Structure 1
């Protein structure tokens, strides 16, 4: 069960695939807000007719045009202002950003480079331009590679996820557990890596995607819990614009995985999946996926009955992210999984969800450094097994419920390196006394993105 909990947590890391829409330029307001913005645009338009060189009116009109999704109107307004203010870095920067959003990268590059050619370019303008130029280089490269590696230390009050009460009931009779079977505190060091490679295919907007997830941990005391795992996902992603679905992609992929437990080969898996990603508006990201895996488990000295878990699993899951404000993001995910094992008492149905906010704020140490981020999450899951476990209770099948709450703080040293600290409390209830436990964990890690 400890390994299942660990791998389930990392499965959620894969629910935000790199399959991504290429362009997002819809309206940012609707309803009554749209009417108010349009009315203000009309006032500003008349003001520009009366005073063509009014830069403030032009900038506001362009900004409101972006809000209603009229990028072309914003561009034409700002380009007209170049007649009255040639070489103005702010103006050239804004035009570069707008063309960048339209994926007109060469035109955007021309404006960005012009914005930093003058002798008195504001530092914030130069910094922003350099970021966009790097983004253009990456967007125009048909092959892209990104990833994150992370290493840290973790402490848990119940690392083996075992009962804390020494007396439990098996088949209705009291039974005293050995000390080795009780929940034990322990710490570990761990490292994880998430890597993504993509290559543009000849058909417009389509890509070949490869994702690799790796994880390894070494316990200080409980060596039986040492884990190493890897999962590889490979397949094409198709731009759904060909079917009139803007800002969306459909991925189809194969899956391969392997797990080592306590230095022994524990399991191998192979499967396939599909996922659909869409950004219906600039603030919203939605993803839904369906995956199948066949799992082959190997008996070993540390896991002598692992092969009883041989079988198949089907998992469906989804993720939603909503940008509430420039500093606040709401997110959530949910999943449902069916597992069929050779031993019916190891076959089960499982489902769960996680929700929470992320809030970014200026560094309290140095406001010129990247923003800090605090994230909170809470969630629950259930797990219902098909048949009773004859060794524990031959009259009823196992039914588990879990609830958890956690949080984390990300402190960037620079845009690509951050210190991360995380806390979590998890409570597990079950009709099997051997499955009841709670656990508090705390971790500290350093992450490097590239």
Structure 2
């Protein structure tokens, strides 16, 4: 099931970049050229121009769309819809001061459509916030989640101990449960306003769960990072930035401390084209693990963890973005059987689409994703099998759905299937999880 999901996801990505996807783009560009010629013949045909703007925006040709809308305003300076569309386009381009001006001009019109007013009232506060040197943003979510394997135990009914397969007791079997959860993601960016674009970034993430029955698996995690993002060489390498940072986290399981870490890293962000960005990075953490006692044979041990990543994003058009990341990790734990090398990748396709009602101001998003990680451990665990080094393959695939209802509030849902294949039965697990709940953005 996990492999099928990963294959299907990869097929979708390949289709978007294949001849079929390119062929669809060529037809649309031909339509764009045809409509452009038509708008020149009929410059006061508003609907014709708006069709041209829609196709140009979908192709990511925002400059062409802006030019067409500004020509419309030359013929009719009171055209409210053109002002709204211009505000939206300038917002996407990061020209927030111009976006604010067009949004406010549109709001001042007496004949503003309720659906357009809702969209402006959703985006105008965001645009105004981007003009401040100190910017706070956040996502808060709560809800309920179901997991088929909360305990992350194998469903074989046996565990390997000292090389022998032994039946497990009722407290060490795969169990399902529901939980309530809370997520907080808060960011602060401070712009030094030094004409280079240098900023100072602070990030905080918190996650907590409360199991309905298996309370020994209640989970809590907090993590924070901070560091400057500096333009590397604005004149020679426009848009290229480097970010050194420090990072740390605390976590609890069942009310007991589990994993704490602290360290630092550095990442480089480089726009290759207007649509394609690369971001390599490396990070070191010192990890301290406290096994609460009911986690059998945990892979994690106190020591050092070094992670290298290569992230990329590619924007096919204004509606579809591919995001991927290669991951390479090396753990040097105090116990050799908890030291490992890990490699793999994760990928997601962010697909935006119009909501079912014009009165809903923001686009909805569906995001299928997949991840695979291969792990090879340095030495056998003498308590499990003194002759066999552990080797795992971890698969997971799923889909996220984000449904904004107003400018600040919405509902999000997720479905995920996760599976771990291992040469040791203790670590062969699978899990189905579903979550849904309201969220708020600021």
| TM-score by shorter chain over 0.5 | yes
Q: Is the 8 A contact 1:297 1:307 kept in 2?
A: no
Q: Choose 263-272 or 188-197, whichever is displaced more.
A: 263-272
SS of alignment partner, residue 180 of structure 1: helix
> What is the distance in 2 between the residues matched to 1:395 and 1:339?
21
User: Displacement of 1:222 after TM fit?
Assistant: 3.0
SS of alignment partner, residue 237 of structure 2: coil
Q: 1:343 aligned to 335, 359, 374, which one?
A: 335
TM-score scaled by length of structure 2: 0.78
Q: Is the 8 A contact 2:179 2:209 kept in 1?
A: yes
Q: Is the 8 A contact 2:100 2:127 kept in 1?
A: yes
- CA gap of 1:59–1:395, structure 2 versus 1, over 3 A, is closer
1:440 aligns with 2:407: no
1:258-273 alignment, distance < 5 Å? 258-273=250-265
1:334 aligns with 2:326: yes
> What is the distance in 1 between the residues matched to 2:432 and 2:319?
29
SS of alignment partner, residue 268 of structure 1: strand
> What is the distance in 2 between the residues matched to 1:132 and 1:183?
46
Q: Is the 8 A contact 1:257 1:269 kept in 2?
A: yes
Q: Is the 8 A contact 2:253 2:292 kept in 1?
A: no
Q: Choose 86-95 or 51-60, whichever is displaced more.
A: 51-60
- CA gap of 1:89–1:372, structure 2 versus 1, over 3 A, is closer
User: Displacement of 1:398 after TM fit?
Assistant: 0.8
> What is the distance in 2 between the residues matched to 1:216 and 1:122?
42
SS of alignment partner, residue 135 of structure 1: helix
Q: Is the 8 A contact 2:337 2:380 kept in 1?
A: yes
Q: 1:213 aligned to 180, 187, 205, which one?
A: 205
TM-score scaled by length of structure 1: 0.77
Structure number with higher relative contact order (C-alpha < 8 Å, ≥ 6 residues apart): 2
Question: Structure 2 stretches of 5 or more lacking a match?
Answer: 1-24
The answer for the alignment partner of 2:143 in structure 1 is: 152
Q: 1:142 aligned to 133, 141, 150, which one?
A: 133
Larger radius of gyration: 1
Q: Choose 371-380 or 310-319, whichever is displaced more.
A: 371-380
1:2-41 alignment, distance < 5 Å? none
User: Displacement of 1:384 after TM fit?
Assistant: 0.9
Show CA shifts across 1:307-347 (max 9, x none).
Answer: 99221101122433334455444333331111111011111
Q: Choose 200-209 or 367-376, whichever is displaced more.
A: 367-376
The answer for the alignment partner of 1:8 in structure 2 is: none
The answer for the alignment partner of 1:386 in structure 2 is: 378
Q: 2:366 aligned to 365, 374, 389, which one?
A: 374
The answer for the alignment partner of 2:6 in structure 1 is: none
1:179 aligns with 2:184: no
What RMSD, in angstroms, separates the aligned Cα atoms of the two structures? 4.0
Q: Is the 8 A contact 1:266 1:306 kept in 2?
A: no
> What is the distance in 2 between the residues matched to 1:230 and 1:307?
21
SS of alignment partner, residue 387 of structure 2: coil
Q: Choose 129-138 or 33-42, whichever is displaced more.
A: 33-42
Q: Is the 8 A contact 1:154 1:189 kept in 2?
A: yes
SS of alignment partner, residue 163 of structure 1: coil
- CA gap of 1:268–1:142, structure 2 versus 1, over 3 A, is same
> What is the distance in 1 between the residues matched to 2:401 and 2:170?
36
Q: Is the 8 A contact 2:122 2:407 kept in 1?
A: no
Show CA shifts across 1:111-139 (max 9, x none).
Answer: 44334434334445544544553233112
The answer for the alignment partner of 2:14 in structure 1 is: none
The answer for the alignment partner of 1:191 in structure 2 is: 182
The answer for the alignment partner of 1:201 in structure 2 is: 192
